[in-house]
Chains A and B, each alone.
Chain A
Amino acid sequence: MASLVDLSASWAPGCHLGGDNGCGFPAPGTEIFEFGKIAEYTIFGITFTIDKPVILVLLCSALIIVFFTVAFAKPRMVPGRVQSMGELCYVFIRDQISRETIGKAGDKYIAFLFSLFFFVFLINFMGIFPGAQFAPTALFVYPVALAVMVWLTYMFIGLKKQGPIKFFTNMMFPPGVPKPVLVILAPIEFISNVIIRPFTLAIRLMANMFAGHLLLTVFIVAALYLASPSVIGVLGTAASGVMVVIMTGFEFLIEGLQAYIFTLLTASYIAGSLSNEH
Chain B
Amino acid sequence: MTSLIAATEGVEEFNVLAVPLGEFIIGTVAFLIVFGVLGKLLLPKIRTALAEREQLIESGLRAAEDAKEESARMAEANQDQLAEAREEAATIRAAAQAERGEIIEKARSEAVAAAAAVTASAQAQIEQEKNKAGADLQRNVGAMATDLAGRIVGEVLTDDARAQAVVDRFIGELESAAESTGTA
Q: Which residues of A contact B (CB under 8 A)?
A: 30-31, 33-34, 45-49, 53-54, 57-58, 60-61, 64-65, 68-69, 71-73, 75-77, 83, 86-87, 90-91, 110-112, 114-116, 118-119, 136, 138-142, 144-146, 148-149, 206, 210
The one of A87, A119, A148 in contact with B46, judged by C-beta atoms closer than 8 angstroms, is A87
Q: Which residue of A lies closest to B30 (CB)?
A: A61
Judge whether B150 is part of the interface by a CB distance below 8 angstroms: no
Q: Decide: A64 and B46 in contact? CB cutoff 8 A.
A: no
Contacts beyond the supplied A30-B14, A83-B46: 12 A-B pairs with Cβ under 8 Å? A30-B15, A48-B25, A49-B1, A53-B23, A54-B26, A73-B45, A77-B49, A90-B50, A91-B50, A114-B38, A141-B23, A145-B31
The one of A72, A116, A138, A140 in contact with B18, judged by C-beta atoms closer than 8 angstroms, is A140
Q: Which residue of A lies closest to B15 (CB)?
A: A30
Q: Decide: A48 and B42 in contact? CB cutoff 8 A.
A: no
Interface string of B12-47 (1 = CB under 8 A from A): 001111111111111110111111011100110111
Q: Decide: B28 and A65 in contact? CB cutoff 8 A.
A: no
Q: Which residue of B lies closest to A49 (CB)?
A: B22
Show 17 A/B contacts (Cβ-Cβ < 8 Å), sorted by A.
Answer: A47-B20, A57-B27, A64-B34, A64-B38, A69-B42, A77-B52, A83-B46, A87-B50, A90-B47, A112-B35, A114-B39, A115-B38, A115-B39, A136-B27, A138-B16, A144-B24, A206-B16
**Nearest-CB distance from B94 to chain A (Å)?**
61
Closest 4 CB pairs of A and B: A111-B39, A75-B49, A145-B27, A48-B22
Judge whether B93 is part of the interface by a CB distance below 8 angstroms: no
**Nearest-CB distance from A50 to chain B (Å)?**
9
Q: Decide: B31 and A61 in contact? CB cutoff 8 A.
A: yes
Q: Decide: B30 and A57 in contact? CB cutoff 8 A.
A: yes
Judge whether B151 is part of the interface by a CB distance below 8 angstroms: no
**Nearest-CB distance from A69 to chain B (Å)?**
6
Q: For the complex, what is the distance from the CA of A139 to the CA of B37, rounded to whole Å? A: 25
Q: Decide: B24 and A145 in contact? CB cutoff 8 A.
A: yes
Q: Which residue of A lies closest to B20 (CB)?
A: A141
Q: Decide: B20 and A49 in contact? CB cutoff 8 A.
A: yes
Known A-B contacts A64-B34, A145-B28; the reply to A75 vs B45 at CB < 8 A is yes
The one of A34, A47, A142 in contact with B2, judged by C-beta atoms closer than 8 angstroms, is A47
Q: Decide: A149 and B28 in contact? CB cutoff 8 A.
A: yes
Q: Decide: B43 and A111 in contact? CB cutoff 8 A.
A: yes
Judge whether B56 is part of the interface by a CB distance below 8 angstroms: yes
Q: Decide: A65 and B33 in contact? CB cutoff 8 A.
A: yes
- Cβ of B15: which chain A residues have Cβ within 8 Å of it? 30
- Cβ of B4: which chain A residues have Cβ within 8 Å of it? 144
Q: Decide: B43 and A61 in contact? CB cutoff 8 A.
A: no
Known A-B contacts A47-B2, A61-B30, A87-B46; the reply to A77 vs B56 at CB < 8 A is yes
- Cβ of A141: which chain B residues have Cβ within 8 Å of it? 18-20, 23-24, 27
Q: For the complex, what is the distance from the CA of A30 to the CA of B14, rounded to whole Å? A: 8
Judge whether B53 is part of the interface by a CB distance below 8 angstroms: yes
Interface string of B80-102 (1 = CB under 8 A from A): 00000000000000000000000
The one of B2, B14, B43, B53 in contact with A114, judged by C-beta atoms closer than 8 angstroms, is B43
- Cβ of B26: which chain A residues have Cβ within 8 Å of it? 48, 54, 57-58
Q: For the complex, what is the distance from the CA of A144 to the CA of B18, rounded to whole Å? A: 10
Q: Which residue of B lies closest to A35 (CB)?
A: B14
